Amino acid sequence: MRRYSAFAIAREAARHHQGWERAWRSPEPRKKYDAIIVGAGGHGLATAYYLGKNHGLKNVAVIEKGWLGGGNTGRNTTIIRSNYLQDPSAAIYEKARSLYETMSQDLNYNVMFSPRGVIMLAQTHHEVRGYQRTAHANQHQGVSTRFISPEEVKKLVPIINLDGPRYPVLGGLWQARGGTARHDAVAWGYARACSDMGMDIIQKCEVTGVRSSNGQVMGVETTKGPIDCDKLGIVVAGHSGVLADMAGFRLPIESVALQALVSEPIKPCMDVVVMANTVHGYMSQSDKGEMVIGGGADGYNNYTQRGSFHHIEETVRALIETFPMISRLKMLRQWGGIVDMTGDRSPIISKTPLGNCFVNCGWGTGGFKAIPGSGWAMAELMAKGESPLAAEFTMNRFKAGRFIDESVAAGVAH
């Protein structure tokens, strides 16, 4: 792999950019791999990357039915934060956030991580108490957050209206080191690094079955023929239930649509990320100037990657009260992704009833921020059979009643 650098740009500029090589290979599948990861989104590629980097397991294939990073990795609002209430969540999300800080150097790929700061607005008294509690918990967990006053919110976000009649701003949970990153670049950077380690990223190849013998996984059936493996990692977000069905078990997961939208580009007006959980609206401004807005999830099972219009209407209606200046913005695009929701709104990184088959799913509405931490933990679990970061996120926690209850912590999807 030729490294990207200022020198490389100068070199290519001098020869009409004829020398750039493809960022990753597109090989045909071999007959057998040590490990197969199903799903070439951020989480799947990160898992493969850390299998190679941290555990020396490089005979790995990442199989993707569509194109790389074309699912939820390309459909989110790119927010990165780790201000969770429960210890296991704070640990894995903070690991992810810290890995984002060095990701561009680590991958030699500019993921445009922008630690611009994230505010979660407290717009009810319940939220004020909840976020104060989270701020206290975060201090114990080593996550740097602070509860700030409405005046401090106004200083950080001059375009905000503190005195909305329905949703006044009573304060906020401020994480200065949260921010955003370029979501496609995260997938592309991991893919390039995986390919460089000799891993095969096989796109347009759908898994149609999971083969097993004596309770152990043997391989997968795909649209490009059968492929054998010693270990299988299922990292397919919204389609986890479909893959679990092939592998012969059920998951505590339901798939629903989550939508986002962007406005026309405008001049810089907001240099932090603002989340308003009471009204299910999240907003940040992209480098292009578009206001990127995320909404709430639909309530019913859905695989169509389209959401219901009334959710957008509700989100925008509430955001306009909090940000009056966006009322005349035109919206350019709207899209949906299929998110995998668990009962306690926490992910699953776990062994499964099928031997040597592992599952990483259930990230719900908040998967992008977790990509590096999730891959780190999943790779460790697949390589060693256990991972401290993933220890609490087993699929059996529901039977045991050991929930990691973030739905109560945040009050809403997040």
Partner 1 sequence: MLLLTCPYCGVEADETELSPGGEAHLKRFGPGASDEDFEAYLFLRDNPKGVHLERWRHANGCGKWFLAARCTSTLEVFGTYPAQTTRPPEDVLEAIRAKRPGWEMPA
Residues binding partner 1 (CB under 8 A): 239-242, 245, 250-255, 298-304, 306, 308-310, 343, 398-399
What is the C-alpha separation between 371 and 129, in angstroms, rounded? Answer: 29
Considering beta carbons, is residue 4 or 249 the nearer one to partner 1? 249
From the CB of 251, what's the least distance to partner 1, in Å? 7
Neighbours of 307 (CB within 10 A): 24
Query: How many Å apart are CA 42 and CA 371, to the nearest integer?
Result: 6
Residue 326, SS3? helix
Residue number, 335 or 398, with CB nearest to partner 1: 398
Q: How far is the CB of 398 from partner 1 (least distance, A)?
A: 4
* Nearer to partner 1 among residue 245 and residue 287 (C-beta): 245
State the minimum distance, in angstroms, from the CB of residue 342 to partner 1.
8
In the complex, the smallest distance separating the C-beta of residue 66 from partner 1, rounded to whole angstroms, is 14
The torsion region of residue 198 among left (phi > 0), alpha (psi -120 to 50) and beta comes to left
Report DSSP state, residue 29. Answer: P
Q: Do the beta carbons of residue 109 and residue 189 sit within 8 Å?
A: yes
CB-nearer residue toward partner 1: 244 or 274: 244
CB of 84 to partner 1, least distance (A): 21
Closest CB 280 distance from partner 1, rounded Å: 15
Smallest separation (angstroms) from partner 1 to the CB of 246: 11
Q: Which is nearer to partner 1, 163 or 245 (CB)?
A: 245
**Residue 231 or residue 239: which is nearer to partner 1 going by CB?**
239
In the complex with partner 1, which residue's Cβ is closer, 66 or 252? 252
Tokens of 159: 């375009």
State CA 214 to chain mean position distance.
34
SS3 assignment, position 314: helix
- Which residue spans within 343-393 are E strands per DSSP? 348-351, 357-361
Smaller CB separation from partner 1, 193 or 256: 256
- Computed on alpha carbons and rounded to an integer, the radius of gyration of the chain in Å comes to 21
**Is the CB of residue 377 less than 8 Å from the CB of residue 361?**
no
User: 350: which 2 tokens?
Assistant: 């776990």
b/e code 269-280 from CB counts within 10 Å (16+ = b):
ebebbbbbbbbb
Nearer to partner 1, 213 or 304 (CB): 304
Q: CB 65 → partner 1: shortest distance, Å?
A: 12
The DSSP output letter for 331 is: E
| Residue 92 in tokens | 């894995």
Report CA dihedral (264, 269, 274, 276) to the nearest 10 degrees. -70
Q: Which is nearer to partner 1, 102 or 301 (by Cβ)?
A: 301
Whether the Cβ atoms of residue 320 and residue 164 lie closer than 8 Å to each other: no
| Beta strands 60-63 and 79-80, pairing class | unpaired
Q: Least distance to partner 1 from the beta carbon of 319, Å?
A: 19
Tell me, rounded to whole angstroms, the distance of Cα 242 from its chain centroid. Answer: 20
Residues in contact with 26: Cβ distance below 8 Å, sequence separation at least 6, in sequence order: 201, 202, 203
CB of 361 to partner 1, least distance (A): 11
